[in-house]
Structure 1
Amino acid sequence: MHNDPPQPATEVLRPGECWDLLRVVSVGHLAVMVDDHPEIFPVNYKVDDEFLVFRTGEGTKLRSAGGHSAVALEADGFDASTRTAWSVLVKGHAVVLEPSPELLTGVGLTLFPWQAGQKDHFVRVVPASVTGRRFGVTSPLTWWNQLDVAPRAAGG
């Protein structure tokens, strides 16, 4: 039995709040379909108006993200001072961008992948929906109970 006070309800975020939170972090997880199965890749992204842009090299992520296939990008954050977490999900499709002076001097100028290597392709996630949630983080002690303690043999 848990004696913690009730947690406040999960807060559903408005789209504008979601975009504000997406600007606070720079790493998310991109979900694409590969051979009829979902694959998830970590990506560094930047918000450009109400689009997300990331850089990538040749490979599975680029091949799968291009075209009109559905993609999703999820990003999370945590505020230690208020013990609240948030999660934002952007669903839509991706477009491989042609390099241009505007791209390279705009969002491309500050978009640095964490992994070394040739990352010459810029991809824009075009959202169809943007949803998010904010919630209080429960203390780990809430979930501890006597069942978590494994029985020990006598003398050991």
Structure 2
Amino acid sequence: MDSRAPQPADNLTFDECWELLADDTLGRLALVVDGHPEIFPINYVVYRRSIAFRTSGVTKLWGAAQERPAALEIDGYDPRTEEAWSVVLRGDTEIMEDQDEKDAVDALGLEPWQPGEKSHYIRISPRALTGRRFRVARPDIWNTRLQDRRRASFE
């Protein structure tokens, strides 16, 4: 088989997507703010098949207070298998008010990475969850940037 031929992407199952989300802690949150898309890095935990994160109460909280749709994307690369993957969760945001729920997500290790008070808890309840995994193309070692993560598995 020609290794240069394009390889199809495999769709991840619902459970595989949740496993990858649970194994990660950092994602990109997409919201519509003032009529245009914005993307924010967030650290999060999986709580009862939803995503929970904390914020200081500015843009991300405003979006949640409006109960607007949001998307969370995570991705990764496994040099051992030479595969990349991506998971996208789309859903609605809401402010978490119940103290027992806040305590539960804190017990899962949800603590802010960025300094400052992050006293507001937001949940994204999923409406759609998709993911895919694919084998990465073999890099041209001589022309690939030194920072390219694929290099390590081929050098």
What TM-score range do you get, normalising by the shorter chain? 0.7 to 0.9
Is 1:119 paired with 2:118? yes
- Quick one: structure 1 residues 143 and 47, their matched pair in 2 at CA, closer, same or farther if it must change by over 3 Å? farther
Query: Post-superposition shift, 1:137?
Result: 1.5
Query: 93-102 or 109-118, which moves further after superposition?
Result: 93-102
CA distance in 1, matches of 2:132, 2:88: 9
CA distance in 1, matches of 2:94, 2:35: 20
Partner of 2:65: 66
Query: Post-superposition shift, 1:79?
Result: 1.1
Is 1:53 paired with 2:52? yes
Is 1:94 paired with 2:93? yes
Query: Post-superposition shift, 1:80?
Result: 1.3
CA distance in 2, matches of 1:117, 1:99: 22
Deviation by residue 1:21-72 (Cα, 9 ceiling, x = unmatched) = 1111100000011111000000001011210000110211111233321110
Partner of 1:38: 37
How many residues align structurally? 142
- Indicate the percent of aligned positions where both proteins have the same amino acid: 42
Q: Which runs of 5+ in 2 are unaligned?
A: 144-155
Query: Post-superposition shift, 1:6?
Result: 2.3
TM-score of the two chains, using structure 2 as the length reference: 0.84
Q: Which amino acid aligns with 2:16?
A: E
TM-score of the two chains, using structure 1 as the length reference: 0.83
Partner of 1:25: 24
CA-based RMSD of the aligned residues comes to 2.0
